[in-house]
Amino acid sequence: MGYRYLWIDSLCIIQDSKEDWQKEVSKMGEVYKNCVFMISAEFCHDHTESFFSLAAEKDYVVQGCHSPARGFCGSIYTYHTTNKDAERLARGVLQTRAWALQEDILSPRTMKWTQEQLVWECRTTTLSEEIPGLDALDAHGFMGHENLKAICLSKDILQNRKQRLEAVDTGWYHDPLVLWYRVVQIFCQRHISFSADVFPAISGIAKEVARHTGFEYRAGIWAQDFHNGLMWTTDGSQQKSKDYVGPTWTWASACNRGLKLPGALIASFSRQEDIINPTAEIIDIDIKYAGRDEFSAVTSGTLQIKGRHVALGNLAIGSIILSDSGKLEKFNDPPWVVTSLLKSRKGQVAYLWLDFMPLVKEHVLSNLSNEGAILFDIGTIGYRKRPEIGEKKISDMNNDELQASIIFYPAKNFALVLRPTGGNVDEYERIGIARVSGDLREGWESRLVTIV
């Protein structure tokens, strides 16, 4: 193709040198971001496999083609495709690896060699042999894959794209924080061999978000969006990693193929400013890093936060419902998208989602009460206030028309589930999140706690 250099990480980084790896890993984001294009072997498990040996067998039908205008004659090889083919394309081996996500997003152009066909992605368009003219601006997502490369666009271009799509109510897809939360959600569904690599493996994308927003990065959460960043949970199916990844309040501590971030997504998707109403005050965030900057691996971290709390043991047993593996009665949704459960039960009630469901689930609530667990009020989230879209475009509405068309959804109150560490006084670890009815929060006392 006429280019002189080919960069391959297994050759360009000394594989058995921790010092060289730490030095080079911080540069990898720049390497990928500034390349001409990346060749991606989507279905190869390792370097011993060939692009060609894994190609899917196809029954081609040869059809002649002719262009009178250009005097062209030739043949087209066609084959029957189904939705299953598209799903298989989106589930390549590389799509299961956490490190590969950053490489894919940061590269300005990616040539994806799949079992089915070649796919070309850049920061504005997705093309393939099957669909050679799909514009990602007008058709969001391709075969189940969003074009997240947009995060690497310049501030002006990203803002222009966002404004262009506001009229059809999809401009929020190009909000830097929305892109970030989506990246984290995808990232945490993938496999990573060493849990300590979580922050380095996503650092390049975090730097792009910082460039767009100017926000301060704190162990996977943005300081200016911190309450929102705490609104994560898991499906409750995995066990806690034996290795230290980060403090318990960050999603990275539970990054193990089961993370959910719908609370953060709901808040950031809206154009309204008052979706999340913090009820706790962040006093201090102290992080220690293994590397040279705040995007490297974390060795320790503490969060000082002031707000209202209640001891779990002070709540009536009937007021607490423990969700099992992300399921709530017959529902399979996290708490913020369940609209009727609180209304369906009389009186005060709190639903608890534990970050790591114990292997032995009997007497979990009584054990937590005996251990001194507390609920710590952090904020209230309302559903997205979305104008009705009729014949008149949102962009053409004046402020009075816009306000008149807004839909209001009931607010939902959230609290962290904290457990004493057994160390310093008022020192806790996060073990889950709870959705709490408004009347249950009456009489909660204010205090300052440290979460590690």
- pLDDT attached to residue 23: 82
Q: Among candidates 243, 249, 240, which has minimal Cα distance to 449?
A: 249
313-340 exposure pattern, b = at least 16 Cβ within 10 A, e = fewer: eebeeeebbbbeebebeeeeebbbebee
Residues of the chain above pLDDT 90, percent: 32
**Mean pLDDT within 50-69:** 83
Mean pLDDT of the region 247-271? 69
Handedness of CA 102, 107, 108, 114 (dihedral sign): negative
Average pLDDT rounded to a whole number, residues 199-207: 95
145 Cα distance to chain centroid:
14
What confidence tens digit (pLDDT) does each residue in 8-17 have? 888 888 878 8
Predicted local distance difference test score (pLDDT) of residue 337: 36
DSSP letters along 351-369, please?
EEEESS--SS-TTHHHHHH
Q: What confidence score (pLDDT) does residue 343 get?
A: 44
Alpha carbons 447 and 438: distance in angstroms, whole number: 19
* Model confidence, pTM: 0.81
Say what the pLDDT of residue 364 is: 82
How far is residue 296's CA from residue 280's CA, in Å, rounded to a whole number?
Answer: 28
For 292, other C-beta atoms within 10 Å of its C-beta total 10
Q: What's the rounded mean pLDDT across residues 393-417?
A: 63
- Region 92-99: what's the mean pLDDT? 89
How far is 236 from 254, CA to CA, in rounded Å? Answer: 10
Measured over the CA atoms of residue 138, residue 144, residue 146 and residue 149, the dihedral's sign is negative
pLDDT at site 247: 97
DSSP state of 121: E
- Structure confidence at residue 151 (pLDDT): 92
Please determine, for residue 390, whether its predicted confidence score (pLDDT) is greater than 60: no
Average pLDDT across the chain, whole number? 79
pLDDT in tens, 333-377: 444 333 334 444 445 678 888 888 766 666 788 888 899 999 999
pLDDT of 40 higher than 70: yes
Of 149-158, 249-258, 376-385, give the range with the top mean pLDDT.
149-158
> Among the listed ranges 56-65, 203-212, 321-330, 375-384, which one has the minimum average pLDDT value?
321-330
Residue 5 has a pLDDT of 92
- Range ranked top by mean pLDDT from 229-243, 263-277, 309-323, 418-432: 418-432
Confirm if 220 and 188 have CB atoms less than 8 A apart.
Answer: no
- ∠378-379-384 over CA atoms, to 5°? 150
Say what the pLDDT of residue 400 is.
62
What is the structure's pLDDT at 168? 54
Angle at 365 between CA 313 and CA 342, to 5 degrees: 85
Reported as a pLDDT band with limits 50, 70 and 90, residue 236 is low
Q: Give dist(CA 104, CA 119) in Å, integer.
A: 13
Query: What is the torsional sign of CA 178, 28, 91, 58?
Result: positive
Task: Please report which confidence band the pLDDT of residue 323 belongs to, taking 50, 70 and 90 as the band edges.
Answer: low
What CA–CA distance (Å, rounded) separates 18 from 317? Answer: 51
Task: Give the integer Cα–Cα distance in Å for 109 and 127.
Answer: 11
